[in-house]
Structure 1
């Protein structure tokens, strides 16, 4: 039988639509345990490649014969060889093009909803990393929020809808992935906006986002209002778009809340985090649709693949928003945190412009799951 090449987009749709897929992951067990392809109907078998060099006969009884098997490795090479061996034994088999590297970098653009006078809002789901970025469009002009370093995806999408990117905004100085904000601004001539309290050490020019700042796009003047909301970082800024949507950055997620420790100042910032969640956000309309900068697990995705929920629903269902005991809250967000993101200090330095790693180094720095939330 021949071996089929599966693109990351096809696998992403399987995960989003909860379709079944058997995955043979041939990476080292430690790498597999730390980070793997997630999906409700995805089944995994982890057998390291070095155990299969002499053949796959010993694992054939663990490989289904009645469905396609997808072989996955770090970059592609090992998975191709294992897939070919399985095909020789009559298995229906494919390999993931580009491996986990491609999975980490793939973005799925999805429409979130409509804005005033014909405008539209899109969410870009980086499904393998849990990152979410956004594009608001009005009358041929676009504004980007929290873009990843895969800038060509946004450029191609903007071209496909005949829009010109005029503004790029980051909700905060990211620590788990490399921002594409500055690069997007350089490539398009757009203005690059940052919260000034997060930008004290940056070595490039930017436009400072101030509390209640309004950024308008298109002749319909869709309003994007900055809302100072510290806690994940001291400068964290949320955005209210068109009185419909609340972009929360890494302050509030669908099933959790942001962690305050990635600059080493958890004890200093936990009070700010509580103030944002329990006071600033509480003053906003329950009907606002919350759009976070990350998701943690696939269960947070809606049926259409978007990550979005009404603020009022989160105040009802999100445990992080329902802790009346301030001491208990403080303990939760300072003492019971998951491991910090891989290379997060280097990522922060890169986002400040103090480091200029090449593409391979950037990929290496970002490897692993999203870890921006309190669990």
Structure 2
């Protein structure tokens, strides 16, 4: 077999196929536990798990399950095992076969920019969808300036995007101290000469300088009327702070998602923060306009993605449809957000320490720490 018969597909091309609802067959050769924990999903994605060690003697046992009329992508953790299996499939007579370059690690890191809207007075709001991790980050661009909210650690994506749009990043912000992924906000601000903003109540143990993201201040991006207004909204963390952009968009961080609400236990203080969470969701947010478009910091399932790959919902609709906003009674709410929660994110304690600047893992260690889904929500999104 010549090497030309096998080709790799990068995460960007696979993401476009998933978002464009292109039928594709995924053969995932990781072990069953890793597969069940976290996998590639999409409306037109068909997936089969066949562990690599079960295929060392040949792929004959699965050949009849591999389609001939559909594109097949073999996936493993880092890439090596998938190359071996893909080669075996080609030798077995399958033709339209490739492997995911960089494996699930590369899938976890890919960001897909999606335009949300043109803003009043000029400027544009973009959402960056991290399909493999469920993270959502944002960029506001106006008059040659940009602000980035809830950036992930792969900061070159934001730098390149701003440059392509003739903008300089002036501000980076985190809505809270993240526990599921390593923030790129501080690093991005250092690289671009911008200011890094963090809610002060989440920053009592950080080891670096930051600007205080707190209610009463208003950041202006560019020279237009695109105001970013912080709103204190604790519950997921004690410092969680939402942002209203252009009087139209509510960046809710990890307080409110499309299908669920934020969990209060990732700092070990669920009992302390449950009242804050309920007050934010059932009182503070209730005072906001129903017409605000909620843009969260995470999603749990590809079913939450819209027709262009965006994750967004009208606040008034969420009060009708989101189960986390329809829990009757304080005691029932307390039980819901403190009992029977999904597993906590992988290495979340180390991720929090990294985001505080208290430890400095290598890039490879950071990649390992982030493996797996985000798990920031109260409800297991698979059931929604």
TM-score (norm 2): 0.96
Aligned match of 1:87: 90
Q: Report the more deviating stretch, 1-10 or 272-281.
A: 1-10
Aligned to 1:42: 45
1:291 aligns with 2:295: yes
Q: Tell me how far apart the structure 2 counterparts of residues 326 and 4 of structure 1 sit (CA, whole Å).
A: 56
1:123 lines up with 2:121 in the alignment:
no
State the alpha-carbon separation in 1 of the partners of residues 258 and 20 from structure 2.
19
Please report how far the alpha carbon of residue 212 of structure 1 lies from its aligned counterpart in structure 2 after TM superposition.
2.5
Structure 1 CA distance for aligned equivalents of residues 160 and 11 of structure 2: 17
Q: Match for residue 63 of structure 1? A: 66
Deviations 1:275-307 (A, max 9, x none): 000111000011110000000001111111000
- The whole-number CA distance in structure 1 between the counterparts of 2:68 and 2:142 is 51
Q: How does 1:253-264 map to 2 (within 5 A)?
A: 253-264=257-268
Query: Equivalent residue for 2:153?
Result: 149
Report the Cα offset of residue 55 of structure 1.
1.7
My pick for the range that moved more, 183-192 or 321-330, is: 321-330
Q: Distance in 2 between matches of 1:15 and 1:314?
A: 26
User: C-alpha distance in 2, partners of 1:58/1:346?
Assistant: 41
Question: What is the aligned residue count?
Answer: 375
The structural deviation recorded for 1:38 is 1.1
1:169 positional shift: 0.4
Q: Secondary structure at the match of 1:56?
A: coil
Match of 2:340 among 328, 336, 344: 336
Aligned equivalents of 1:287 and 1:102: distance in 2?
37
1:234-266: CA deviation from partner (whole Å, max 9, x where unpaired)? 000000001010000000000100000000000
CA shift digits 1:77-101 (9 cap, x unpaired): 1111111111112202111111101
Q: Secondary structure at the match of 1:19?
A: coil
Q: Verify the 8 A CA contact 2:225 2:246 in the aligned structure 1.
A: no
Q: Which runs of 4+ in 1 moved over 6 A?
A: none
Cα-to-partner distance string for 1:35-92 (whole Å, 9 max, x where unaligned) = 1101122111111112222221222122122222110011111111111111112202
Of 8, 26, 31, which aligns to 1:5?
Answer: 8
Alpha carbon RMSD of aligned pairs, Å?
1.0
More displaced stretch, 48-57 vs 174-183: 48-57
Deviation at 1:319, TM superposition (A): 1.1
Other structure's SS at 2:361 match? coil
Segments of 5+ residues of structure 1 without an aligned counterpart are none
Partner of 1:238: 242
1:252 is aligned to 2:238: no
Q: Is the 8 A contact 2:121 2:225 kept in 1?
A: no
Supply the distance in 1 between the matched residues of 2:56 and 2:11 (Cα, whole angstroms).
25
SS at match of 1:117: coil
Secondary structure of residue in 1 paired with 2:62: helix
Give the C-alpha shift of residue 210 in structure 1.
Answer: 1.6
Does structure 1 residue 270 correspond to structure 2 residue 274?
Answer: yes
Spell out the pairing of 1:120-269 with structure 2 (5 A cutoff). Answer: 120-269=124-273
Q: SS state of the match for residue 224, structure 1?
A: strand
Which region of structure 1 is more displaced relative to structure 2, 87-96 or 354-363?
87-96
Give the superposition deviation at 1:17: 2.6
Could you say which residue in structure 1 is the equivalent of 2:382?
A: none
Distance 1:96 1:27 in 2: 13
